[in-house]
Structure 1
Amino acid sequence: MSWESIPQMVLSAADRFGDAEAVVDGDLRLSFTELAARIRQAAGAFAEAGIDTGDRVALWAPNSAEWIITAFGLLTAGGVLVPVNTRFKAEEAGDIIGRSGAKAVVVEQGFLGTDYTGVTDVPMIDLKSGFLDSGQPLERRVAGTEIADIIFTSGTTGRPKGVMMNHQQTLRLYTEWCDLADLREGDRYLIVNPFFHIFGYKAGLVASLIRGATILPVRVFDADTVMDIVERERVTMLPGPPTLYHSLLEAKSTRDLSSLRAAVTGSADIPVELIRRIAEELPFQSIMTGYGLSEAGTVTASRPGDSFEQIATTVGSPCAGVEVSIADDGEVLVRGYSVMLGYLDDPDATAAAIGHDGWLRTGDLGELDPDGRLRIVGRKKDMFIVGGFNAYPAEIEGFLLEHPAVAQAAVVGVPDERLGQVGRAYVVVKAEITEDELITWSRDRMAGFKVPRSVRFLDALPLNATGKVIKDQLR
């Protein structure tokens, strides 16, 4: 890897891939040469707006070509990117913009009906205002050890914290990711994962520009829209959550999905049957599953040759230069070059997360199989104790998903006078079933302490923008 910084890598794509398509966003088509020119112009616009090396700028907008030009234009001007979750309400976003110390915030006015005015006192730039094209082309030299981005955690476990990473960490890790995920030059990569999240931004945009893949952004996930783009644009690379692949399986008889080659998914618990069906009923030639977190990027990934069961029930083996260990209480620990530099302006939280020996506490519970593959059991915070026995929601949810009437399930611990805590299941169904029927069915399949004592039926589980269930809302 010869690049020192992310902008150096991004701009070099013009020399490496030239007139090949870099971005297809609706009617807009940009070659790698054109994208690099637009990024240099945006860098000039930021510099002329007073953004200097090391200054932070927040970006609060959906997946689009403009998001790509804004982010890499800012980095090319020497700035630090602070992506903001598009699902956040004004108060949540204002908190992150304020705490990040952003000198400006770039928004797309009106997205999902949001009016961004009055959210913050920080100067606001509208993506659609012509700002990105207003600057004289510029490229500032950026050191690889400088902070590239501050990505705030999803907030499923309390107040979001700003994770700081430098350019070299991202370039090294996602160069390897390209190999693990079988991303190739000329691939057409449909990115449904939000760009404000490390999957969409780093395993999506950065990886595509490393490899020379065409980026096809999806603004808001909708299964029919995804199928339309797959057919029209001959998409080859399609990562996403398990629900995406369920949609593909349902549509396979009515849609032309023949171009699809590489799948990437990840979840604490994926049914083995789903992985088998993806491999046997869809055109995919490779399926990767993995585990990562904002604080360390991609930590583990499955490898070519892994069985359906290994891909479904583990999250693979550690990436090169990354160590994984399991603490005495079952918590997954990670150490290596990709671990964050720390949380922004929060030395206490940083010290609590990273021990003096360099091990990052992930907050996830797991175990290693004899070959060193990691299995995620659940969140440490989600575990509850029933009469002295540790109960892991992810395991119980896996059992519940085996019931033919259950489409989605989330389990939390609730207070109980006799046992301390017991499980409560929140369930979205696809066929009629009563609370008593599901509890009785569960008793035949899991130890008594794991069986939910109550069931609440919902139309939908509360999810954050990356598809994780927000269990604090259920509690």
Structure 2
Amino acid sequence: MEPLRARTLPDLVRAGAEHHRDREAIVDGPVRLTYAGLAEEVARFAGALAVRGVGKGDRVALWAPNSWRWIVAALGVVTAGGVLVPLNTRFKGAEAGYILARSGARMLLVDDGFLGNRYVDSLDRSEIPELSEIVPFDAWDAFVGRTGDVTATVEPDDLSDLFFTSGTTGRPKGAMLTHRQSTEVYVAWSELADLRAGDRYLLVNPCFHTFGYKAGVIACLLRGATIVPLPVLDVAESLRLIERERITVLPGPPTLYTTMLDHPDRHGHDLSSLRVAVTGATTVPVVMIERLREELKLATVLTAYGLTESCGTATMCRPDDDPVTVSTTCGGAIDGVEVAVDPASGEVLVRGYNVMRGYWQDPASTADAIDADGWLHTGDIGVLDERGYLRITDRLKDMFIVGGFNAYPAEIEQTLARHDGVAEVAVIGVPDDRLGEVARAYVVPRAGLALSERDLALYCKERLANYKVPRSFVFLEALPRNASGKVLKTTLRGEA
């Protein structure tokens, strides 16, 4: 079987070993795995899971940064028949614990201590009753030292992963996606991105996000490219790796490119190997697209649009699109996918093979998201031009994007509302030169209690991932409301 024809991830790993045997699959510091070596590591890890009872449909969570171990563990989980549940490395214990409990994960694979975070200690095990085993990465060798045969048979329409995404309620929901979706969508994505066998792909986007895992790991395996994972967004290290590893493909959020273009050490590195950039998720300046093409001589610079519920991708620009098109639109629908705009509300709708099977054990939210005709309601407002290219103009949902990460005001508001000194709070996203948008909180203090920005920021930092923490606080006597009592966030945005 050719990798591009594989419709399960285990088949994809095996096909890669057959067709790209001695080509490098992963380069991670001193670790250099060929495609054949990757298949061996994945089989060993899957066997270690199987011998411990992980089988068809079991959820296994993975809480770790980008690395060769993340990739092997993720592919090992799905090869054993399990369902991967990625966790954001920025999560606090309560955030991760909710997803572990909600998914019913029976095992947690964790790089405990990453960036000083004691992930395991932060969890309240009493609230995660189905979690029976935690496997830290520093016990990797002992874990894979006891392995067995994998007996599970994986089919294309089996669930491959649950990526949890929050909604306007602030409670994360697990989008159910299959092996077939995860491969077919990224056959299309990798073709439009001009990803080729032998390309060297700097994996900056985190693997716990669909962009990193599916447009990164899976796309590279489909095309026979080499994955060079980076655990944190570090522009100086990115410049060094581009030169040392002759990186050709560099997807990432706009902040990566703008920071790289303006970095004082850029001209001290040979970046001539770069050929492809793919971005999106937030406002993309036309001048940035022009600079990538003119200063870095990139042949292909694209933007794309998608959400977790659409397997990460719904629309994409084409390689010959001009800078203005790339900057101001998200491109047209990928093959086999329909995109429409509701004439009444302006909401962007998506229908096709890429739409999730629903939210994990949440039929009510699923019915709200996917209508009877199969259209996924994205919560984004947009317009389609005469070419069928999509332009996002606003959001129905309150969500805003911080450096490529979705932030949901409801979740931040719920956290701040628990502070003893907060009577009312409303959160919006405001523009930021580096991150695109950041949170700003409008706070009504409780009578007789003094609040400071510093106190509230520290309170949030203890309870929320850093990208969700408001960068500014505005104290008001009252929040603006309409006649029915709803907070007028449009007024707050206008003032901001």
Q: State the TM bucket, normalised to the shorter chain.
A: 0.7 to 0.9
Shift in alpha-carbon separation, 1:343–1:356, aligned structure 2, 3 A: same
Q: Is the 8 A contact 2:8 2:180 kept in 1?
A: yes
SS at match of 2:314: strand
Counterpart CA distance in 2 for 1:378 and 1:470 is 21
Give the superposed CA RMSD: 3.2
SS at match of 2:289: helix
The one-character-per-residue Cα deviations of 1:337-373 (angstroms, maximum 9, x if unpaired) are 1100000010000000000011110011110111110
Greater Cα shift, 84-93 or 129-138? 129-138
- Deviation, 1:318, is 0.2
Question: Could you tell me which residue of structure 1 aligns to residue 309 of structure 2?
Answer: 295
SS at match of 1:339: coil
- Deviation, 1:2, is 3.1
Q: Does 2:273 correspond to 1:259?
A: yes
The one-character-per-residue Cα deviations of 1:181-217 (angstroms, maximum 9, x if unpaired) are 1110000000110101100000000000011111011
Q: Pick from 361, 371, 379: which aligns with 1:355? A: 371
Shift in alpha-carbon separation, 1:42–1:321, aligned structure 2, 3 A: same
Question: Could you tell me which residue of structure 2 aligns to residue 83 of structure 1?
Answer: 86
Q: Pick from 122, 129, 134: which aligns with 1:124? A: 134
Q: Does 2:350 correspond to 1:334?
A: yes
Q: Which runs of 5+ in 1 are unaligned?
A: 384-392, 398-409, 413-421, 431-455
The count of corresponding residues between Structure 1 and Structure 2 is: 417
Shift in alpha-carbon separation, 1:469–1:380, aligned structure 2, 3 A: farther
Q: Pick from 323, 329, 346: which aligns with 1:308? A: 323
SS at match of 2:262: helix
Question: Could you tell me which residue of structure 2 aligns to residue 51 of structure 1?
Answer: 54
Q: Is the 8 A contact 1:75 1:148 kept in 2?
A: yes
Shift in alpha-carbon separation, 1:141–1:189, aligned structure 2, 3 A: same
- Deviation, 1:381, is 2.5
Shift in alpha-carbon separation, 1:71–1:169, aligned structure 2, 3 A: same
Q: Is the 8 A contact 1:193 1:466 kept in 2?
A: no
Q: Pick from 312, 334, 338: which aligns with 1:323? A: 338
Counterpart CA distance in 2 for 1:51 and 1:425 is 41
Counterpart CA distance in 1 for 2:198 and 2:262 is 28
Question: Could you tell me which residue of structure 2 aligns to residue 14 of structure 1?
Answer: 17
Question: Could you tell me which residue of structure 1 aligns to residue 68 of structure 2?
Answer: 65
How does the TM-score come out when normalised to structure 2? 0.78
- Deviation, 1:114, is 1.7
Q: Pick from 240, 247, 250: which aligns with 2:252? A: 240
Shift in alpha-carbon separation, 1:28–1:192, aligned structure 2, 3 A: same
SS at match of 2:108: strand
Name the amino acid aligned to 1:112.
L
- Deviation, 1:139, is 6.6
- Deviation, 1:135, is 1.6
Q: Is the 8 A contact 1:64 1:217 kept in 2?
A: yes
SS at match of 2:268: coil
Q: Is the 8 A contact 2:9 2:183 kept in 1?
A: yes
Question: Could you tell me which residue of structure 2 aligns to residue 168 of structure 1?
Answer: 180
Aligned residue runs from structure 1 range 74-473, under 5 A: 74-118=77-121, 119=123, 120=125, 121=128, 122=131, 123-129=133-139, 130=141, 131-136=143-148, 138=150, 140-153=152-165, 158-251=170-263, 252-297=266-311, 298-327=313-342, 328-382=344-398, 426=430, 428=432
Counterpart CA distance in 2 for 1:156 and 1:24 is 39
How does the TM-score come out when normalised to structure 1? 0.81
Name the amino acid aligned to 1:312.
S
Greater Cα shift, 141-150 or 261-270? 261-270
Q: How many percent identity over aligned positions? A: 48
SS at match of 1:303: coil
Q: Is the 8 A contact 1:38 1:133 kept in 2?
A: no
Name the amino acid aligned to 2:236.
D
Name the amino acid aligned to 2:147.
G
Counterpart CA distance in 2 for 1:348 and 1:164 is 14
The one-character-per-residue Cα deviations of 1:399-431 (angstroms, maximum 9, x if unpaired) are xxxxxxxxxxx9x9xxxxxxxxx998845579x
- Deviation, 1:287, is 0.8
Shift in alpha-carbon separation, 1:218–1:137, aligned structure 2, 3 A: farther
- Deviation, 1:70, is 0.5
Name the amino acid aligned to 1:204.
G
Shift in alpha-carbon separation, 1:157–1:221, aligned structure 2, 3 A: farther
Name the amino acid aligned to 2:315.
T
- Deviation, 1:115, is 1.5
Q: Is the 8 A contact 1:289 1:315 kept in 2?
A: yes
- Deviation, 1:466, is 11
Counterpart CA distance in 2 for 1:139 and 1:423 is 49
The list of structure 1 runs, each at least 4 consecutive aligned residues, that deviate by more than 6 angstroms after superposition, is 422-425, 464-475
Name the amino acid aligned to 2:135.
I
Name the amino acid aligned to 1:318.
A
Counterpart CA distance in 1 for 2:8 and 2:115 is 34
Name the amino acid aligned to 2:397.
K
Counterpart CA distance in 2 for 1:185 and 1:52 is 33
Shift in alpha-carbon separation, 1:363–1:23, aligned structure 2, 3 A: same
Shift in alpha-carbon separation, 1:467–1:169, aligned structure 2, 3 A: farther
Question: Could you tell me which residue of structure 1 aligns to residue 418 of structure 2?
Answer: none
